[in-house]
Structure 1
Amino acid sequence: MTDHATGTHVFTPDPRNDAVLIDVDGALLPRPQAMVSVFDSGFMLGDGVWEGLRVHRGRIAFLDRHLDRLYAGAKAILMDIGIDRAALTRRLYAALDANAMDGEGVHIRLMVTRGVRSTPYQDPRVVISPATIVIIPEWKTPAPETATRMLNLFTVHVRRGYPDVQDPKLNSHSKLNCITACIQAAQAGADEALMLDPHGFVATCNSTHFFIVRGGEVWTSSGDYCLDGITRRIVIEVAREAGIPVFERNFSLSDVYGADEAFTTGTFAGVAPVGVVDGRVLGTERGAMVARLQALYRARIEADVASAVRP
C-alpha cells in the first residue's frame, strides 16, 4: 500500500499548512495545539457529522447545500450543533481570514461531534458538554492531472448497507465501511473502491460518487445506498439543464464494463474520468462527455460563488 492518497485525492503538500490556524470550538489554534479530548464523542465513537468544503475566489462553494446536509444529519441523530447557520458561517470565514485564505486552492474540513462524554460509553446521555465544532482549513488543491488522468477502480466485497443497519445517506464520522473498502482497493493496486449495494447493483465509490455514460446517456445509482452528494446532485442538474439525458437507476457491473465512459464526482476534485474498472479498459483518455460535464460543473461553481455574500 502506498503512503499517500491516490486517485482524485492526490495533492501537492503545501508547507504553509504547517503554520495553519485551526478553529476548535471558536478558538483559533496553531496546528500542533489543535486538539480534542480523548473523551470526545468523535474520537471515542465516531459520533458526529462532517462536511468537506472547497473555497473558490475567496467564497465557499455551495455552502448553503453543505449546511443543509450538515444540519439535517445532526437533526437525524438527535445532535444539537449548538450554533445556528449564520454563526457557523461566520466562524468558517473567520478561519479563512485568520489564515489569509482569500483566493484559490483551499479545502475546509468541518467536523461536528456530539461533545465530551463523562465516560467511555455510547449512550448520548453521558455527554457533558456542548457539541465539538472543528474547522480545518488547508492549502490543498487537486493535482493538475486529476482532470484528465484515467482512474483505476476495483469492485470490492464490502457493500453499502441497508439504512436500518447504518444509513449510508448520513455523512457521519463512522467511516469504517468505506475505509475497509478503500483498503481492499488499495491492496489490489486500484485508486479507489467501487462498492455495490445489498442487491448487487452499483452504489458508489468509497469516497466519491460514480457515473457511467452509455449511448449519450448518463447513468448513476438510484441513490438509495449512498450519500446524497453535493457534487453528484449538481452534475445531475447541470447535465439535465444542458439537455443531456441523466438517469438515477439500478445498473450492474455488466453495464459498467460495457460503458462508453465513466467518471466520479466529489467536492475535492469535481468530475474525474475513469479508465479502468476491474481490469476492463473503458477508455485510455478523457471522453467527450466527461470533458463537457467538467466544463458545465466549473461554470456552476463560478455562478455560485459570484452570487455568494461573505459575512
Structure 2
Amino acid sequence: MIGKYCSLNGKLTKTKKAVLPIDHIEFAYGFGVYENLRMRKGFVYHIEEHIKRLFDSAKIIDLNHDLDFKQVKNWVEKLIEKNNIKNGNIKMILIGGKKPILYIFMLPPKYIEKKEYRQGIKVTTYNYERFAPQAKALNMLPSYIIFKRAQKENAYDALLIDRDGNIIEGTRSNFFAIKNKTLTTPPLSEVLDGVTRRTVIECAKQNGYNIKEENIPLKNIFDYDGAFLTNTSGKIMPVKTIDEKSFDIIPDNLQTLRKLYDNHISHKE
C-alpha cells in the first residue's frame, strides 16, 4: 500500500486506522466485489468503466448499496489529491452487509519487464470454472491457489480450462489468440468483461482487425500465430509458452497490435 490515506465510504482516513471488525461475516465469506485501476502521471485509465463494472459485479451477486457513479468518482479523485501521488494502482473494495463499505486505497505501480513483451511470458493450465465469472468478486480462493501454483513453475499466470477443454481466461487476465488479422477470444458469457479486453477489441476494430468470440480448445491453440493475455497492469502480454510447449516466435502481427494499443490509450490521457 502507498499513501498515508485511504477512503472509507468517502471519508479520508489514515490507512493504519482503516480496519474491519474481526466478526465482519460478509468480508470473512468474501461477499464483496473489487476493481483495480491504473494511474500514470496523475491520469486514471478507464475510471468510468471500472466504476460501472464495480456496480455491475455487485448486482450480479445481489450486493445492494446506495452508492452512485459521480460520488465514487469524486472519492477516487479526492484520495489521489490527498495522497499527492502520480503513479500507482488504485483498488476499490465494496463489501456487502446491512451497511455496505467501500474502501479505496492506493498500491505501488506494477510494471512488466520489457523483455517479457519482446520474448513473451509463460503460462500454465488448470481445469477450473469460476462461479459467476462475470463478477469481479472477493471469493478468489481457488484462483489464488491456482495462481500461486503457476508462480512456483515460474509462470506469469495460469489459464483456466473448462470441462470441454476450452481455454476460458487467466486467473487475473483475459485471453486472446491471433491469426493474421483476426483476434479470437472466449465468449463474454463465460468470462469477466475485462476493461482492457474491451479496449483491445475497440482498438483492434479501429485498425482493421476482425474479432471472433468463440471457444478456443486448448488442443488447437498452436494452430494460431500466437496468443496474449490482457489486464490493467500488463496491458497486452504476448504468450510464448503454455505448460511445456511454446510458440516458435512472438509474431509480428501481435507486436504490431501491442504498439497500436499503447498508442490508442496514450491518446486518452
TM-score where L is the length of structure 2: 0.91
**Cα distance in 1 for residues equivalent to 2:69 and 2:52:** 9
Aligned to 1:112: 94
**Cα distance in 1 for residues equivalent to 2:25 and 2:36:** 19
SS for the counterpart of 1:194 is: strand
**Cα distance in 1 for residues equivalent to 2:92 and 2:121:** 27
Letter in 2 for 1:88: V
In structure 1, list runs of 5 or more residues that go unmatched: 1-16, 116-126, 306-311
Alignment of 1:149-188 (within 5 A): 149-157=119-127, 159-161=128-130, 166-188=131-153
**Cα distance in 1 for residues equivalent to 2:111 and 2:154:** 20
SS for the counterpart of 1:109 is: strand
Task: Using the TM superposition, name which of 206-215 and 180-189 deviates more.
Answer: 180-189
Aligned to 1:143: 112
**Cα distance in 1 for residues equivalent to 2:55 and 2:28:** 22
- CA apart distance, 1:91: 0.4
SS for the counterpart of 2:177 is: strand
- Whether contact under 8 Å (2:2, 2:108) holds in the other structure is no
Aligned residues: 268
Task: Work out which of the residue numbers 224, 237, 246 in structure 2 matches 1:272.
Answer: 237
TM-score where L is the length of structure 1: 0.79
- CA apart distance, 1:174: 0.9
Segments ≥4 residues shifted beyond 6 Å: none
- The structure where strand makes up a greater share of residues is 2
- Whether contact under 8 Å (1:196, 1:203) holds in the other structure is yes
In structure 2, list runs of 5 or more residues that go unmatched: none
Offset from partner CA, 1:168-194 (integer Å, 9 cap, x none): 111111112312321332344422111
**Cα distance in 1 for residues equivalent to 2:26 and 2:268:** 32
Question: What do you get for the CA RMSD once the two structures are aligned?
Answer: 2.0
- Whether contact under 8 Å (2:181, 2:208) holds in the other structure is no
Letter in 1 for 2:38: R
Task: Using the TM superposition, name which of 21-30 and 275-284 deviates more.
Answer: 21-30
1:91 matches 2:55: no
- CA apart distance, 1:149: 4.5
SS for the counterpart of 2:148 is: helix
Offset from partner CA, 1:215-236 (integer Å, 9 cap, x none): 4422111233211111111111
**Cα distance in 1 for residues equivalent to 2:235 and 2:178:** 17
- Whether contact under 8 Å (1:218, 1:247) holds in the other structure is yes
Task: Work out which of the residue numbers 42, 49, 52 in structure 2 matches 1:68.
Answer: 52
**Cα distance in 1 for residues equivalent to 2:171 and 2:204:** 23
Task: Using the TM superposition, name which of 72-81 and 256-265 deviates more.
Answer: 72-81
Task: Work out which of the residue numbers 222, 235, 253 in structure 1 matches 2:200.
Answer: 235
Aligned to 1:287: 251
- Whether contact under 8 Å (2:32, 2:138) holds in the other structure is yes
**Cα distance in 2 for residues equivalent to 1:246 and 1:39:** 47
Aligned to 2:168: 203
- CA apart distance, 1:277: 0.6
Task: Using the TM superposition, name which of 266-275 and 23-32 deviates more.
Answer: 23-32
Task: Work out which of the residue numbers 16, 23, 37 in structure 1 matches 2:7.
Answer: 23
**Cα distance in 1 for residues equivalent to 2:40 and 2:264:** 12
* Identical positions, percent: 22
SS for the counterpart of 1:156 is: strand
- Whether contact under 8 Å (2:39, 2:45) holds in the other structure is yes
- CA apart distance, 1:70: 1.2
**Cα distance in 1 for residues equivalent to 2:105 and 2:254:** 31
